[in-house]
Amino acid sequence: MSEKTRLGNFFEDFYVGQTIAHATPRTITEGDVALYTALTGSRFATTSADTFAHSLGFPRAPVDDFLAFNMVFGRTVPDISINAVANLGYATGRFGHPVYPGDTLSADSTVIGLKENSDGQTGVVYVRSCGVNQRGQIALDYCRWVMVRKRDPASPAPESVVPDLPAAIAASDLLVPTGIRIEQYDTALSGSTDLWNDYQVGERIDHVDGMTIEESEHMMATRLYQNTARVHFNQQAERAAGRFGRRLIYGGHIISLARSLSYNGLANAFSIAAINGGRHVTPAFAGDTVYAWSEVLEQLLVPGRKDIGALRLRTVATKDQPCADFPYQTTDGRYDPSVLLDFDYTVLMPRRE
């Protein structure tokens, strides 16, 4: 093996406090937006039309928040998770400055926790990753933790540091993009008259539609984000030695599909403000049909705004299981086998005064 080839970091390469500047900054373009629409079917008016976005006070249509998230995530993979066994969870993600076509995102990650597993083969790495635009404005940051292989099982375990991550981003910490106003908000164009006031805590919404995923679709999405994790691309290696015998679908594509499906029932959730937590419960594969449902967890007041409110949501994506019965967990806390994604996040929505 030439020393020129990078094989990525193993568990013992990380230390708490380490900051890694990720390679390959990325200019986001209208081409990325078109592909995102073609791959997810997203229909939210704010990201679909400059005119609608302008009526809200955006200078033009921002890109979908999960497109930005997946782009930042993609940058981190070669350094953080190329040798990961599993992507365990997300927490305390917050969206800041909207991303517009023409913006260039760079990313870095800081190691905030390490815990070797008892088997001595792997360990959990906790990082906070941050995506900034070309003016140094933070587009988003979020924590995730992954199980990473050790290069050498004999290497000593580091001191365990497990970060104390809050269950959710507080309402007082949510950021509403500068200049947003909703007096011209047109519910005929957004596709629903249901505003923040019309949702109730505990309400469950079946998003009805199902979307079957093809190999080329998830690979195109994942390459668009320049995410290089091998399990998504190499059928030969997966067949020979993979855990499932086939390519796994990148979890971020499932998040994007769930968000797109959620338009039917949450059409006025014009912006994502936070990722409170999230877990990829089961891997998805080509041929799976993805469905989604959501539950309103909290109805949050946004400080200083009477015209915009926030909803904390749980969106659950399933495979091959329509969601009229809201499949989730059994009474013992185990997930229904159809559940792919359990995602806790906070959206912004116009509010009637």
Binding positions for its own copies, 81-120, rule CB under 8 A: 101-102, 104, 106
Site size with its own copies, rule: CB under 8 A: 85
CA distance 139 to 316: 25
**CB-wise, 121 or 186, nearer to its own copies?**
186
CB of 332 to its own copies, least distance (A): 27
Closest contact distance (angstroms) between CB of 112 and its own copies is: 20
Interface residues for its own copies in 233-252 (CB under 8 A)?
A: 233-237, 247
66 sits near its own copies (criterion: CB under 8 A)? no
| Minimum CB–partner distance for residue 6 and its own copies (Å) | 6
Longest Cα pair distance anywhere in the chain, in angstroms?
65
Taking the complex as a whole, how short is the minimal distance between the CB of residue 252 and its own copies, in angstroms? 14
Contact indicator for 213, 290 with CB cutoff of 8 Å: yes
Residue 297 touching its own copies (CB under 8 A): no
Query: With respect to its own copies, which residue has the nearer C-beta, 89 or 242?
Result: 242
* Residue 298 touching its own copies (CB under 8 A): no
Among 188, 202, 304, 353, binds its own copies (CB under 8 A): 188
Q: Does 267 bind its own copies (CB under 8 A)?
A: yes
Does the footprint of its own copies cover residue 6 (CB under 8 A)?
yes
CA distances from 177 to 38, 222, 259 (A): 26, 27, 20
Choose the binding region for its own copies from 144-152, 210-218, 272-280, 306-314 (rule: CB under 8 A).
Answer: 210-218
The stretch among 45-53, 156-164, 303-311, 343-351 that binds its own copies (CB under 8 A) is 45-53
Distance CA 55, CA 7 (A): 48
Q: Does 202 bind its own copies (CB under 8 A)?
A: no
Q: Is 44 in the site for its own copies (CB under 8 A)?
A: yes
E strand map for the chain:
19-21, 26-27, 84-95, 104-116, 122-132, 138-149, 204-206, 211-212, 271-280, 289-301, 308-319, 339-350
Instruction: Measure the CA–CA gap between 86 and 193, rounded to whole angstroms.
Output: 40
Q: Is 209 in the site for its own copies (CB under 8 A)?
A: yes
Q: Which is nearer to its own copies, 78 or 113 (CB)?
A: 78
Query: From the CB of residue 154, how many other CB atoms can be counted at a distance below 10 Å?
Result: 7
Q: How far apart are CA 161 and CA 79, in angstroms?
A: 20
Site for its own copies in 307-346 (CB under 8 A): 320, 322, 324
- The footprint of its own copies on residues 121-140 (CB under 8 A) is 134
Is residue 151 at the binding interface for its own copies, with CB under 8 A as the rule?
Answer: no
Q: Does 33 bind its own copies (CB under 8 A)?
A: yes
Angle between helices 30-40 and 251-261 (to 10 degrees): 80
| Region of 338 on the Ramachandran plot (φ > 0 left; ψ -120 to 50 alpha; else beta) | alpha
Measured distance CA(206)–CA(7) in Å, rounded: 43
Binding residue (CB under 8 A) for its own copies from 114, 127, 174, 221: 221
CA 209 to CA 212: how far, in whole Å? 10
